[in-house]
Amino acid sequence: MKKSRMFTLAAFVVSLSAASTILTQTVIMQRPLSNLGLSAGVGYGTAEPTIANSGNPPTDGELFVTRAAGVSDPLFRMYSALTGGWQTALMTGGTDTPTISTDIVIGNNDVDDITLNGPVTFNVFREDFDFVAAKYLEFDYTASVLTDAGHNIILMPTSQLGVIGWITESTDGLSAQPEVFATRGSLDTTSLVDDIDNDALELCFGCFSPVNTIGLQSSVWFDEDDNESAYCEVSMSIADISEIDSLWFGWSLQEDAANPPAFAGLNTTAFFVLSDNAGDLDIHTELNGGGSLNDDATEVWADAETHVLRVTALADSVTFTLNGTAVTQTNAVLNFDATDRAVCRLGFTNVTGDATPEAGVVLQYVEIGVSQ
């Protein structure tokens, strides 16, 4: 019995000693610990416990509420020995948004529901080209015109985009009606351009023609007067960069005319641009024909590489994102004019001086998001 009492008394002294150490630290207001130094409840303070500020290291699964200076709502955290850090738990309400640095698994089968109790930022229109029912026509629904004069459409009645307008510079005419969805999960542009010196192609997503005054008026994805923002994004690969003379993707005014296709000379634009056949990727903007403003995207596009390009148009600016990372803008800035309306385009020209150019431009998906 004496030994038992002595053990209990010793444990009590250890517990008091730990509590005394904790209470003398100004950042730790409360941290219940067992006689073994393990978490015995939810702690509270202005910083997570460390050996330096509390005398005891954090333990696996320990819970702590942090109320730091300048933070309007407490953050509820749990220590993970696996990652060696404090994880932020999701909380309802409040103004502080926790950062989630690991994968999130929502449900585990096809009947799990996802409920969003907040506003959705964008209406998203996306085409992954997995199951596309398509008809190739001229903008007036007659047979495609396969020469320079043709303003054609790829009509996709089951797609969220609905239609892709296209024009080609093909002086001798395409040899056959195109077929761009031969491979599931991609749009292959090969059949839209001939292997002819310096030929060109331009696509307009959700448009009846890249020259948007041709045919029926199309969806205008960005309206400076109505939209807070809109983005267009493409995942794309190029088989042979050396066969590309120039390539462009992004926003330009609805009424801009470019036939034969080219990005230079358009009135108002915000484009990613490959300006040579060495793969140098830049960003370009232009306002009211005032000259191209350029920044280096610090990427050299190599053969067969896939890159994701996103250009976001806002009322007073544009932004560029490459593979999920923002591109630094110094010169390439743009403030759309009032009443400006823009559509999303992608185009390229074949190299000069090559009798059989074959760049192999393939799109894996196209996505357009319009703010609500």
Q: In the chain, how many domains are there?
A: 2
Assess whether pLDDT exceeds 80 at residue 17. Answer: no
∠ CA 68-71-76, nearest 5°, is 70
Task: Based on the fold, state whether residues 76 and 209 are members of the same structural domain.
Answer: no
Task: Based on the fold, state whether residues 182 and 50 are members of the same structural domain.
Answer: no
pLDDT, residue 74, reads 78
pLDDT, residue 335, reads 94
Whether 67 maps to a domain, the answer reads yes
Task: Based on the fold, state whether residues 208 and 293 are members of the same structural domain.
Answer: yes
Can you give the CATH number for the domain in which 284 is found? 2.60.120.200
> What's 198's DSSP letter?
T
- Which position has the higher pLDDT, 56 or 70? 56
Beta-carbon contacts of 203 under 8 Å, excluding residues fewer than 6 positions away, are 164, 165, 166, 189, 210, 345, 346, 347
**Could you tell me the two tokens for 366?**
């196209």
- Which position has the higher pLDDT, 126 or 20? 126
**Could you tell me the two tokens for 219?**
């969806």
Task: Based on the fold, state whether residues 69 and 203 are members of the same structural domain.
Answer: no
Task: Based on the fold, state whether residues 165 and 70 are members of the same structural domain.
Answer: no
Assess whether pLDDT exceeds 50 at residue 260. Answer: yes
- Which position has the higher pLDDT, 322 or 12? 322
Angstrom distance (rounded) from CA 241 to CA 3: 82
Task: Based on the fold, state whether residues 244 and 306 are members of the same structural domain.
Answer: yes
At 197, the pLDDT band (50, 70, 90 cuts) reads low
Torsion of CA 159, 163, 169, 170, to 10 degrees: 70
For 9: left if phi > 0, alpha if psi spans -120 to 50, otherwise beta; the answer is alpha
Whether 96 maps to a domain, the answer reads no
- Which position has the higher pLDDT, 331 or 178? 331
Domain C-terminal end among 88, 114, 139: 88
pLDDT, residue 93, reads 53
- Which position has the higher pLDDT, 185 or 38? 185
Tokens 């300048």 map to which residue? 70
Assess whether pLDDT exceeds 80 at residue 138. Answer: yes
Nearest Cα neighbor of 127 from 106, 151, 157 is 157
Domain C-terminal end among 71, 88, 105: 88
**Could you tell me the two tokens for 179?**
């077929």
Whether 59 maps to a domain, the answer reads yes
Task: Based on the fold, state whether residues 83 and 215 are members of the same structural domain.
Answer: no
Give the lowest-confidence range in 30-44, 84-98, 352-366: 84-98
Domain that holds residue 43: 2-88
Whether 110 maps to a domain, the answer reads no
Whether 27 maps to a domain, the answer reads yes
**Could you tell me the two tokens for 347?**
């185009």
Claim: this prediction has a pTM higher than 0.75: no
End-to-end CA, the chain: 74
- Which position has the higher pLDDT, 8 or 369? 369
Whether 322 maps to a domain, the answer reads yes
Task: Based on the fold, state whether residues 299 and 154 are members of the same structural domain.
Answer: yes
Say if residues 65 and 89 touch (Cβ distance below 8 Å): no
3-state helix, strand, coil in the chain (%, to 5): 10, 35, 55
Angstrom distance (rounded) from CA 86 to CA 66: 11
Task: Based on the fold, state whether residues 136 and 199 are members of the same structural domain.
Answer: yes
Say if residues 312 and 319 touch (Cβ distance below 8 Å): yes
Beta-carbon contacts of 82 under 8 Å, excluding residues fewer than 6 positions away, are 60
Domain C-terminal end among 67, 88, 109: 88
Task: Based on the fold, state whether residues 136 and 224 are members of the same structural domain.
Answer: yes
Whether 93 maps to a domain, the answer reads no
Whether 257 maps to a domain, the answer reads yes
Task: Based on the fold, state whether residues 81 and 174 are members of the same structural domain.
Answer: no
Tens of pLDDT, residue by residue over 152-180, are 889 999 898 989 988 887 766 677 788 89
What residues does 87 pair with on adjacent strands? 78
Task: Based on the fold, state whether residues 155 and 304 are members of the same structural domain.
Answer: yes
